[in-house]
C-alpha cells in the first residue's frame, strides 16, 4: 500500500477519513505572463508615494517620492555607490526607479529592469524614457533568471517576493523533499502541527543571490511584522509570529513573507542582514492622533481616512537588506 493510501486509513480502527490536503506549489506565473496588470487594484506602497505630492505624502515627516527615499536609504547604508549597476526585479509601473534616478542618476551607471509581465515592461520603458541610455529591459521569470545575474552591485525587489512560488498546505509530519532540504539546510522554524505554507520561491531566490554575494534590498507584506517604536497600537489583532498567509487579489493571490526564514537562510550562507518596519523607513510622521485614528477608526476627515487606510495597510510591511 502506497504512503498516500496508508494515510487514508486510520491505523487504529480502519475508519476511512478525509485525505489530508496535498502540499502543492502556488504560482502566479500564468497571471503575470498573460493578464494585463492594473497595480491600482493592489494598493502598492510605491504607487501610493510615486511622487512627492500624492495625497498619501501628508503622512510623511519629509514628503518625498518612495524611490528617492529608498535611494537615500541605500546611500546611507553604503550600498549605492558611484558607478553602480542595479537590477530591479518586478518594477511594476517603473515609479520606484523613476524617482530613484530623478534623485540619484549621476551615481548610477546601468540599470536592468527584469519583469515577467510584457505590459508592465512596456509601461516601465515609457516611464523611464529619459534614461534610455542607461536602462535596459529584460522579460524573464526571476525563478529562472536569478542564477544568470552577473555584474550587479545591488538588486532591488519592492513588493515582489510575495508573488513568487509558495508551497501551500504542507503537513509538518510529511515534508516534501524540497521543503525538507530548505528546513534542514537553514534550520528554518516550522509549526509542529497543522498545515502551513512556505515561501519556497523567495527562500530559493535568497539562496541564489546570497551565493553570488550581491546585496539585495527588498520589501514585502510580512507574516512576522515588526511594529514601529511608539506605535504599539498597530499590533492590535495582528499575529506577529505567523506563517505565510494567502491574500486574495484580482485574478491571483499572493502570500505574506516569513522574513525570519529569509534571514535564517541569509545568515546560514554567511551574509549580514538588517531589517525593520517599512513605516519607519519611509519616516511616517508619528503623533498621538494616529493612535486615536487607528484604534477608534475615527475617519471623519480626508486626512484621517488616508491615515487609517495607510496604517492598516503598511503595518505588516517590512524591509530587508542582505549584504
Nearest approach, Cβ of residue 287 and ligand SAM (Å): 27
Half-sphere exposure of 14 (CA within 13 A, CB side): 0
Residues 6+ apart with CB under 8 A from 284: 59, 60, 61, 228
* CB nearer to ligand SAM: pick between 217 and 294: 217
Q: How many residues bind ligand SAM (CB under 6 A)?
A: 25
CA 68, CA 58: separation in Å to the nearest integer? 16
Taking a C-beta distance cutoff of 8 angstroms, is the pair 202, 161 a contact? yes
- Name the H helices within 90-233: 95-104, 118-127, 142-145, 177-186, 200-212
SS3 assignment, position 208? helix
Interaction of residue 141 with ligand SAM, rule CB under 6 A: yes
Q: How far is CA 164 from the centre of its chain?
A: 9
**Range in contact with ligand SAM (rule: CB under 6 A) among 41-49, 55-63, 104-112, 290-298:** 41-49
Q: What b-and-e string marks burial along 27-39, b requiring 16 or more CB atoms within 10 Å of the CB? A: bbbebbeeeebeb
Interaction of residue 32 with ligand SAM, rule CB under 6 A: yes
Nearest approach, Cβ of residue 301 and ligand SAM (Å): 27
Nearest approach, Cβ of residue 85 and ligand SAM (Å): 18
Beta bridge partners of 25: 167
Dihedral (CA of 299, 301, 303, 309) sign: positive
- Encoded one letter per residue, x for contact with ligand SAM by CB under 6 A and - for no contact, window 155-174 reads ---xxx--xx----------
Interaction of residue 143 with ligand SAM, rule CB under 6 A: yes
Interaction of residue 44 with ligand SAM, rule CB under 6 A: yes
* CB nearer to ligand SAM: pick between 95 and 304: 95
Interaction of residue 142 with ligand SAM, rule CB under 6 A: yes
Which three cell numbers mark 319?
A: 524591509
- Name the H helices within the chain: 3-8, 29-34, 45-48, 66-76, 95-104, 118-127, 142-145, 177-186, 200-212, 259-268, 278-281, 288-296, 302-314
**Range in contact with ligand SAM (rule: CB under 6 A) among 136-144, 224-232, 263-271, 304-312:** 136-144
Name which of residues 85 to 124 contact ligand SAM (CB under 6 A).
Answer: 89-92, 96, 114-117, 120
* CB nearer to ligand SAM: pick between 141 and 309: 141
Nearest approach, Cβ of residue 4 and ligand SAM (Å): 30
* CB nearer to ligand SAM: pick between 113 and 265: 113
Interaction of residue 42 with ligand SAM, rule CB under 6 A: yes
Question: Which residues of the chain form contacts with ligand SAM (CB under 6 A)?
Answer: 28, 32, 39, 42, 44, 46-47, 89-92, 96, 114-117, 120, 141-143, 158-160, 163-164
Amino acid at each position: 500500500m502506497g504512503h498516500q493510501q496508508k494515510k487514508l486509513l486510520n491505523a487504529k480502527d480502519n475508519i476511512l477519513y478525509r485525505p489530508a490536503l496535498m502540499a502543492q506549489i502556488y504560482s502566479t506565473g500564468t497571471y503575470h505572463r498573460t493578464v494585463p496588470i492594473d497595480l491600482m487594484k493592489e494598493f502598492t506602497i510605491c504607487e501610493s508615494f510615486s511622487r512627492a505630492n500624492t495625497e498619501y505624502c501628508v503622512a510623511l515627516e519629509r514628503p518625498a517620492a518612495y524611490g528617492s527615499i529608498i535611494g537615500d536609504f541605500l546611500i546611507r547604508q553604503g550600498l549605492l555607490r558611484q558607478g553602480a549597476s542595479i537590477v530591479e526585479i518586478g518594477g511594476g509601473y517603473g515609479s520606484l526607479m523613476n524617482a530613484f534616478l530623478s534623485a540619484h542618476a549621476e551615481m548610477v551607471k546601468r540599470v536592468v529592469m527584469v519583469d515577467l509581465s510584457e505590459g508592465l515592461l512596456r509601461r516601465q520603458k515609457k516611464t523611464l524614457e529619459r534614461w534610455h541610455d542607461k536602462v535596459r529591459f529584460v522579460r524573464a521569470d526571476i525563478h529562472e533568471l536569478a542564477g544568470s545575474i552577473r555584474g550587479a552591485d545591488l538588486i532591488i525587489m519592492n513588493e515582489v517576493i510575495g508573488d513568487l512560488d509558495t508551497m501551500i498546505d504542507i503537513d509538518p509530519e510529511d515534508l516534501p523533499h524540497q521543503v525538507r532540504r530548505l528546513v534542514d539546510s537553514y534550520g528554518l522554524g516550522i509549526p509542529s502541527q497543522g498545515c502551513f505554507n512556505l515561501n519556497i520561491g523567495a527562500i530559493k531566490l535568497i539562496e541564489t543571490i546570497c551565493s553570488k554575494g550581491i546585496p539585495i534590498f527588498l520589501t514585502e507584506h510580512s507574516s512576522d511584522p515588526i511594529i514601529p517604536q511608539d506605535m504599539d497600537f498597530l499590533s492590535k489583532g495582528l499575529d506577529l509570529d505567523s506563517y505565510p498567509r494567502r491574500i486574495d487579489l484580482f485574478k491571483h493571490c499572493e502570500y505574506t513573507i516569513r522574513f525570519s526564514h529569509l534571514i535564517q537562510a541569509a545568515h546560514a550562507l554567511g551574509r549580514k542582514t538588517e531589517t525593520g518596519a517599512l513605516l519607519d523607513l519611509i519616516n511616517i510622521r508619528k503623533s498621538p492622533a494616529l493612535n486615536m485614528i487607528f484604534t477608534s477608526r475615527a475617519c471623519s476627515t480626508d486626512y484621517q481616512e488616508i491615515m487609517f487606510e495607510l496604517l492598516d495597510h503598511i503595518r505588516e510591511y517590512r524591509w530587508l537588506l542582505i549584504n
